């Protein structure tokens, strides 16, 4: 079960890494067409997509940071003197 979960997470990360370039390519394609209303909508979708990817990355980093802080919190410094 755990290996399937790891595979699913790996696939999700790969999809996320492909999403940003795909959004940017779509944005460039639409901007080259020159339809003002469509350009604005695509620009908003691209920006939102990039924000979501950034937030997910931050969330993963925060989980890692919490683990490190928990480890530091358990260190007993009383024997070091000072």
What tens digit of pLDDT does each residue of 8-42 get?
Answer: 767 777 777 777 788 788 888 888 888 778 888 88
Task: With a cut of 60, say whether residue 82 has pLDDT above it.
Answer: no
Asked whether the beta carbons of 51 and 18 are under 8 A apart, the reply is no
Q: What is the mean pLDDT of residues 66-78?
A: 82
Residue reference for tokens 């909508």: 41
Would you say the C-alpha torsion 12, 58, 39, 30 has a positive or negative sign? negative
What tens digit of pLDDT does each residue of 56-69 get?
Answer: 778 888 888 888 88
- Confidence category of residue 49, pLDDT binned at 50, 70, 90: confident
Instruction: Tell me the CA distances in angstroms from 77 to 52, 56, 72, 74, 82, one per residue in order.
Output: 40, 34, 10, 9, 9
């Amino acid at each position: 079960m755990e290996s399937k979960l790891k595979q699913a997470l790996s696939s999700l990360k790969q999809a996320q890494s492909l999403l940003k370039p795909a959004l940017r390519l779509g944005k460039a394609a639409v901007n080259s067409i020159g339809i003002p209303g469509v350009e604005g909508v695509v620009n908003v979708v691209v920006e939102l997509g990039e924000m979501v990817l950034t937030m997910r990355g931050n969330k993963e980093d925060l989980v890692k940071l919490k683990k490190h802080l928990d480890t530091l919190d358990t260190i007993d410094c009383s024997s070091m003197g000072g």
